[in-house]
Structure 1
Amino acid sequence: MFPYNELFSFSSGTFFMKWLGVAWLVYIICLSLWIILQKRPPVSTLSWILALAFIPYAGFLIYHFLGPQKLKRQQFRRLPSKTALKEYSDYLQLRNRILASGSHSGELMQLASLIRTTTGFPLTTAKSLDLLVDGKQTFTAILDAIANATHHIHLEYYIFDPDKIGTTLRDLLITKAQAGVKVRLLVDGIGSSRLKNKFLSPMLQAGVQFAFFHKPHISQLIKPLVNLRTHRKIVICDGLVGFTGGLNITDDEDERVQDSAYHDTHLQLTGNAVHWLQLIFMEDWVYASGERNIPDLAGYFPIQSSGQHPVQIIPSGPDNDWEIIHRTYLAMIQNARNRVWLTTPYFVPTEATLFALTSAALRGIDVRLLVPEKSDSRLVTAAARSYFDELMHAGVKIWEYKGRMLHSKTIVIDQHYSLIGTANFDSRSFRLNFEVCVMAYGDKLAGMLSRQFECDLISSERVLPKRTTGWIQKLAEAIARLFSPLL
């Protein structure tokens, strides 16, 4: 029987401690119910409960602001009908071409169907696909495309810094806006927090339209959005040329400015595929800026002839329950017949992706993983290394890129399809961030990414199955792994 008389006894010196214990128990129950009702993966749910159980009362605030959330927002689905019909024509031609291509046709069409069903983005074409490596190539190509734009320029970035490359780009945008080109710039409110009024004012005065995506604000005390970021990097010029990939606008990515600049990859594409990058930007812009009535909408989606490269644009974010980039990675790995070559700066696999990688290696697939020797997060580096022994035991071959920070996000499957984009191989990119990737069907991009992968291995060191680690490092990696579902 519960000793109520002791609990309410003022003669006891433990009165305060008893009531504190009751309050802590109530806190644990309420917090657990709140997290459980989110219906997240069990491992993630338990991790949050255990982590916050030992942070009395403050845990409510931590989960409120940083816990996983879903976001509902109005979709901007107003492609001109002629453009939509043209894309459908592309789809029919590509379907017939792929079905006639050989033994991989069934898997490719199923993968394309998975993406289309979950995103509404169909198989389409690109007239050209150009792989850009590091800042010099990427920034030169982007600045050239912007300089040649005559109708509009749309940019969306996670990080836009007011440094050398940021200032160069800003000044070019000012010049184009003054020349009558419509310029819209959307940046993440936290990733681009260094942008201040002094830097932005010349752009705004020149007519550049600007918006922050989820900029921290006191109104978010009720509905916090601090954990929901746009991690996308998109540039579109005249609806004809598009860019996406790993590079942000920062000197940290420009080897011409810093010898230690990140090593990264980006993609330039032309053709109808750019329409779908445009649609992603438009949806984000309408949501973040509040601009609802965009005049001359057809001018942003120019009709073009079909290209020769089958591609599919994949958007992903917390406004879609399907975790489509996560599912796409899983489907690609499961469909592999001879190789899986994965490059990622942040390797914190989910249980499903870890199972897929080890299963592929166990059935004889050439599974290779390339990660940075040291990322810009010690916690993530330690968490990644905690998976190495299990992966290598299954036959996965692992390399660590030496010197500069590796920031590329690519995967090559066999010789037939590949993916490049903004998403890291971790739960944050799969479930929290707004991301975008390009899936390419065929050997064009797969060949370029394969050659780049082999080139990067020259600057990398193979991780040996019997790697030597001290007990302190093993403990640090094991502890970091506990936080994997939260990273």
Structure 2
Amino acid sequence: RNHRKIVVVDGAIAFTGGINVTDEENEAVNPRAYHDLHLRLEGAIVRWLQLAFLEDWHYATGTALRDARLWPEPPPGRLVAQALPAGPDSPWEPIHRVKVEAIHQANHRVWLVTPYFVPGEAARMALTSAALRGLDVRVVLPARSDSLLVSAAARSYYDELLAAGVRVFEYQPRMLHTKALLVDDDSCIIGSANFDHRSFRLNFELSVALHDAGVARGLQDEIGQTLHQCREVKGDDPPGPAWRRLGDACARLLSPLL
């Protein structure tokens, strides 16, 4: 499955993130459109997003686009940015590796926003280890996902996260579709990849890692506004009905496939 979201204009401007090209995700048309996040990029990073698009085009059509006008000379940029394409054509799981390593390298903060949370052991241990080190670790998820099965699997991890000191928040108003990781005050990863097996191993995905205090502050503000519309899950919350907890546990058994 190709889950990338890439728009490149004249080889000079690129857009990527979580937003699909559909009226269903246009807030001017649909008041229940997903709460999402996207990047507008210029500079040399555009070439890497365009290369990912052209590789997908070649794979899908069997033809190559060779027009030299596709590759204008980019202006010098002011940020350090790296494109992270990933897919089942590579065994290295680059987005998975970069996110886990970024969490391990964090010094005081890890804020994760994802619509689908089905982490493998390495990702789960990175989050809980950061919390056990005393870092401010927050995971923001939708209260009502568009997949009941994935939501049930995500809830099955709450007890472990809360026991380690991770703070878990559920976004209330509508479906949360943002995929972002903020580490400390200067590093963030934004793109199409969820924090789950499917995005890390099965889908073709694309994320962008940015190292800049200004971008990090902007993402901090965006996540902060999202947190104002969340309910924090507490360890002493009343347990849900037994049937739901059983359903969550059963959904977790399917985690490698979700």
Do the two structures share a fold, i.e. TM-score over 0.5? yes
Write out aligned runs for 1:341-420 (5 A): 341-420=111-190
Report deviation, 1:395: 0.2
- Quote the Cα distance in structure 2 between the aligned partners of 1:406 and 1:251: 17
CA deviation profile, 1:347-406 (whole Å, cap 9, x unmatched):
001111001100000000100000000100000001000100110000000100002100
Q: 2: distance between equivalents of 1:461 and 1:426?
A: 22
Alignment of 1:93-112 (within 5 A): none
Deviations 1:433-468 (A, max 9, x none): 000001001212211111000000111111111222
Counterpart for residue 306 of structure 1: 76
* Number of the residue aligned with 2:30: 258
Structure 1: gaps spanning 5 or more residues: 1-228
Cα deviation 1:301-320 (Å, max 9, x = unaligned): 11123211110000000111
Paired residue for 1:444, among 214, 222, 246? 214
Q: How many Å separate the matches in 2 of 1:236 and 1:265?
A: 17
TM-score by length of 1: 0.52
Aligned partner letter, 1:475: L
User: C-alpha separation between the residues in 1 aligned to 2:149 and 2:104?
Assistant: 29
Deviation digits for residues 216-259 of structure 1 (CA, Å, limit 9, x no counterpart): xxxxxxxxxxxxx1100000011100000001012221111111
Which secondary structure state, in structure 1, belongs to the residue aligned with residue 247 of structure 2? helix
Q: Could you tell me which residue of structure 1 aligns to residue 44 of structure 2?
A: 272
Pairwise mapping of residues 88-167 of structure 1 onto structure 2 (< 5 A)?
A: none
Whether 1:289 aligns to 2:61 is: yes
Q: 2:245 aligns with which of 474, 477, 483?
A: 474
Counterpart CA distance in 2 for 1:353 and 1:271 is 31
Q: Deviations over 1:288-329 (max 9, x none)?
A: 11113x342x32111123211110000000111100111011
User: Following the alignment from structure 1 to structure 2, what is the Cα–Cα distance between the partners of residues 272 and 455?
Assistant: 31
- The correspondence of residues 194-205 of structure 1 with structure 2, limited to 5 A, is none
Per the alignment, residue 208 of structure 1 pairs with: none
* Structure 2 letter corresponding to 1:286: H
Give the match's secondary structure for 2:246: helix
Mapping 1:4-83, distance limit 5 Å = none
Cα distance between partner residues in 2 of 1:452 and 1:418: 12
CA RMSD of aligned residues (A): 0.9
Give the corresponding residue for 2:11.
Answer: 239
Q: Relative to total residues, which structure has the larger helix share, 1 or 2? A: 1
| Cα-to-partner distance string for 1:60-117 (whole Å, 9 max, x where unaligned) | xxxxxxxxxxxxxxxxxxxxxxxxxxxxxxxxxxxxxxxxxxxxxxxxxxxxxxxxxx
- Report the Cα offset of residue 472 of structure 1: 1.1
Task: Please identify the structure whose Cα radius of gyration is greater.
Answer: 1
Equivalent-residue separation in structure 1 for 2:246 and 2:237 (angstroms): 15
* Larger RCO: 1 or 2 (CA < 8 Å, sep 6+): 2
Q: What residue number does 1:76 align with?
A: none
CA distance in 2 between counterparts of 1:233 and 1:436 reads 8
Secondary structure at the residue paired with 2:146? coil
Residue identity (%): 51
Q: Within 2, Cα distance between the matches of 1:301 and 1:366?
A: 42
Matched, 1:230 2:2: yes
Tell me the distance in 1 between the aligned counterparts of 2:59 and 2:90.
15
Matches of 2:235 and 2:221, distance apart in 1: 25
C-alpha contact 2:186 2:215 (8 A) present in aligned 1: no
TM-score by length of 2: 0.98
Q: Does 1:454 align with 2:247?
A: no
1:83 aligned residue: none
Q: Distance in 2 between matches of 1:300 and 1:250?
A: 26
SS at match of 1:456: helix
